[in-house]
């Protein structure tokens, strides 16, 4: 008998269905790749060399769109002569909520990071480079984190499955480690930027991105919690008819809380918080919360099912410890804001 006392979640993970789109002519795949390369270098040419770091480039619309269209036309013309695989149809196109929310998190994160770089009188074009580092690190780190921490033996037996991200399996702890490595590599190329300064700004974005991604997990009915009789328990009909903790929503709310705290601290110091303050708060609050929320979650690592605390909790402990250490030893909380100095 179906339990009607709880919300039943059975939404299709696909946001909409556009079917198959037939192209009027074959499109060279390598021509599209070449077009993005042309766009990247073309944009660098359109930006004046003497543009101040805190000023947005003023590019006329006809030049910008002319560069975009011209790049795609040139890419296709080149591969009319050179060999390239082609496509004549696209689809069926069924964008999933998870993918839309994942992409949205990067777009909003890109905009927020640019604003914070401009606040610090840094060149916003640096964010373009940083986004590449973080995007690759997030995907690779999250995947390797799942492979290494949660099901290593399976992937050692089936190494080809490591690349099969579409089969599921991304670990947020792995993504965190990947992003930290990416920030370190990025800062190594910058003589006037410290790791903690950059980390303070990236974690603001990571916090709000986490809320988007966990909401995407909810749309997919994944990362569900233990059975519960609490009033807010949800029946994920795609799995079973048992009311469960919506752990992914708990984590989304935690990310929103962390984002709010970081944003408040950022502005309370007039957009120039003490180095390491936001990074240390992020590590301490987020992963302390994650440690507690893991008690509501189904174990994702079968080999750790009889452990006192699960794999996610073990991975949270060192991150919380680092956050507390930074907060106590490295952050100058007595730093006064510019507004207070003026007063």
Least confident of 56-65, 116-125, 193-202, 264-273: 56-65
Question: What is the CA 28 to chain-centroid distance, rounded?
Answer: 30
SS (H, E, C) 255-320: HHHHHHHHHHHHHHCCCCCCCCHHHHHHHHHHHHHHHHHHHHECCCCHHHCCCCCCHHHHHHHHHH
Q: Answer whether residue 32 is part of any domain.
A: yes
Q: pLDDT of 14-32, one tens digit each?
A: 888 888 888 888 999 999 9
Does residue 16 sit within a domain? no
Rounded to an integer, what is the distance from CA 270 to the centroid of its chain?
A: 26
Residue 2 lies in a domain: no
Q: What pLDDT, on a 0 to 100 scale, did the predictor assign at position 1?
A: 40
Does residue 257 share a domain with residue 131? yes
Give me the mean pLDDT over the 99-122 stretch.
Answer: 92
Dist CA 53 CA 120 (whole Å): 9
In the predicted model, is pLDDT for residue 338 greater than 90? no
Whether residues 298 and 257 share a domain: the answer is yes
The verdict on 260 and 320 lying in the same domain is yes
pLDDT in tens, 150-167: 777 778 887 877 776 666
Q: How many domains does the chain have?
A: 2
The predicted structure's pLDDT at residue 71: 94
Position 307 confidence tier, pLDDT thresholds 50, 70, 90:
low
Q: Residue 113 is encoded by which pair of tokens?
A: 């990071």
Distance CA 120, CA 305 (A): 47
Task: Using the 3D structure, point to which of 39, 67, 92 is the last residue of a domain.
Answer: 92
Assess if residue 218 is contained within a domain: yes
Span 161-183, mean pLDDT?
78
92-106, 230-244, 310-324, 325-339: the lowest-pLDDT one: 325-339
**Whether residue 78 sits in one domain with residue 205:** no
Domain-located, residue 285 = yes
* Cβ-based neighbours of 243, under 8 Å, separated by 6 or more: 3, 5, 6, 227, 228, 229, 230, 233, 234, 235
Q: Are residues 39 and 184 in the same domain?
A: no
d(CA 243, CA 230): 8
275 and 133 co-located in one domain = yes
Q: Give the pLDDT score at 282.
A: 96
Question: Mean pLDDT of all residues in the chain?
Answer: 86
- For residue 265, how many other CB atoms are within 10 A of its CB? 16
Residue 70 belongs to domain spanning: 21-92
Residues in a beta bridge with 244: 227, 234
């Amino acid at each position: 008998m179906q339990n009607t006392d709880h919300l039943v979640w059975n939404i299709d993970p696909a946001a909409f269905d556009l079917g198959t789109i037939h192209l009027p002519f074959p499109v060279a795949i390598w021509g599209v790749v070449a077009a993005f390369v042309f766009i990247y270098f073309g944009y660098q040419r359109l930006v004046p060399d003497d543009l101040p770091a805190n000023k947005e480039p003023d590019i006329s619309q006809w030049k910008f769109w002319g560069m975009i269209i011209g790049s795609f036309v040139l890419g296709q013309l080149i591969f009319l002569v050179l060999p390239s695989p082609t496509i004549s149809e696209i689809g069926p196109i069924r964008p999933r909520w998870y993918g839309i929310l994942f992409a949205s998190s990067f777009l909003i994160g890109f905009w927020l990071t640019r604003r914070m770089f401009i606040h610090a009188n840094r060149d916003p074009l640096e964010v373009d480079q940083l986004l590449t580092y973080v995007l690759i690190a997030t995907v690779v780190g999250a995947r390797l984190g799942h492979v290494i921490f949660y099901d290593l033996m399976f992937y050692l037996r089936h190494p080809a499955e490591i690349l099969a991200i579409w089969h599921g399996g991304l670990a947020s702890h792995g993504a965190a480690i990947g992003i930290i490595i990416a920030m370190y590599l990025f800062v190594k190329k910058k003589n006037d930027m410290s790791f903690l300064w950059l980390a303070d700004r990236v974690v603001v974005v990571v916090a709000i991105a986490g809320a988007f991604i966990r909401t995407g997990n909810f749309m997919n009915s994944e990362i569900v919690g233990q059975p519960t009789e609490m009033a807010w328990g949800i029946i994920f009909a795609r799995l079973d008819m048992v009311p469960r903790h919506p752990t992914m929503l708990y984590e989304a709310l935690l990310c929103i809380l962390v984002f709010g705290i970081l944003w408040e601290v950022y502005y309370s110091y007039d957009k120039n918080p003490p180095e390491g303050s936001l990074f240390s708060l992020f590590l301490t609050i987020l992963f302390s919360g994650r440690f507690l929320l893991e008690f509501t979650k189904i174990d994702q690592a079968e080999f750790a099912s009889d452990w006192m605390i699960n794999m996610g909790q073990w991975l949270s402990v060192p991150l919380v410890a680092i956050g507390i250490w930074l907060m106590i030893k490295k952050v100058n909380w007595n730093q006064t804001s510019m507004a207070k100095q003026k007063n």
